[in-house]
Amino acid sequence: MQTVLALFLWLMMPIFPSKGPLSSVHPFHVSVTEITQNAAAGTLEVQVKLFTDDFEAALKKVYDTKVDLIDPALHERMDSVVLRYIYSRLQLRVNEKAVPLQYLGFEQEREATYVYLEAENIQGPVRRLDVYAKLLYEQFSDQVNIFHATAGKAKKSTKLEFPAHTVRLDFE
């Protein structure tokens, strides 16, 4: 039930104020990762959505550096910090084979930061997807990471709750 409520609040996030005392207050710590197979291009397209304030706090804690994902003047410098963090906390295996993720960038929109990645050379059908994820685990002991994956016509969703960090999605 808590996960359903967390997902509802995450989806309703755009109506929360972006300024003022409620801007950094949210009762749940949730990320949502969308993984979509693009069979024509032979890729997996990955989008990670995180609350910006939570993500900035985790980056500051891990790298002990000034972090500002909103300031356009710092975007290039933040790219390297975001890339290092995501690479160390999100990995995929397709059909029992590790697939390297290529970082495409990030963007900030309202209270959310979106991180974009891609895995190339995904040949044939995705029968099994293994996800290793520890997103924001260093920051929150109640962190929930939700995953939605699409391979061919099949769609699967699952979640990882701290401290769990691996999950398998079977598409056959």
Looking at the structure of the chain, the number of domains it has is: 1
Tens of pLDDT, residues 149-166:
999 999 999 999 999 999
- Is 12 within a domain? no
Q: Confirm whether 59 is domain-assigned.
A: yes
Over range 43-57, report the average pLDDT. Answer: 97
Name the percent of the chain lying above pLDDT 90. 81
Q: What number of other Cβ atoms are within 10 A of residue 143's Cβ?
A: 22
The pLDDT of residue 28 is 83
Range of the domain at 153: 29-170
The answer to whether residue 22 sits within a structural domain is no
What's the pTM value of the predicted model, to 2 decimals? 0.84
Q: Is residue 144 in some structural domain?
A: yes
Q: Is residue 36 in some structural domain?
A: yes
Give the pairing of strands 166-170 and 154-161.
Answer: unpaired
pLDDT at 18: 40
HSE (side-chain half, CA atoms, 13 Å) at 79: 11
Which structure tokens are listed for 12? 């309703």
Q: What does the pLDDT average to over 39-62? A: 97
In a domain, 16, yes or no: no
Q: Which residues pair with 169 in a beta bridge?
A: 129
Task: Give the CA distances from residue 127 to residues 29, 149, 154, in Å, rounded to whole numbers and listed in that order.
Answer: 30, 12, 10
pLDDT 10s digits, 68-127? 999 999 999 999 999 999 999 999 999 999 999 999 999 999 899 999 999 999 988 999
Distances (CA, A) of 164 to 31, 77, 134, 143, 146: 14, 31, 8, 10, 12
Task: Quickly state the pLDDT bin for 51 (edges 50, 70, 90).
Answer: very high
Q: Is residue 3 domain-resident?
A: no
On whether residue 7 sits in a domain, the answer given is no
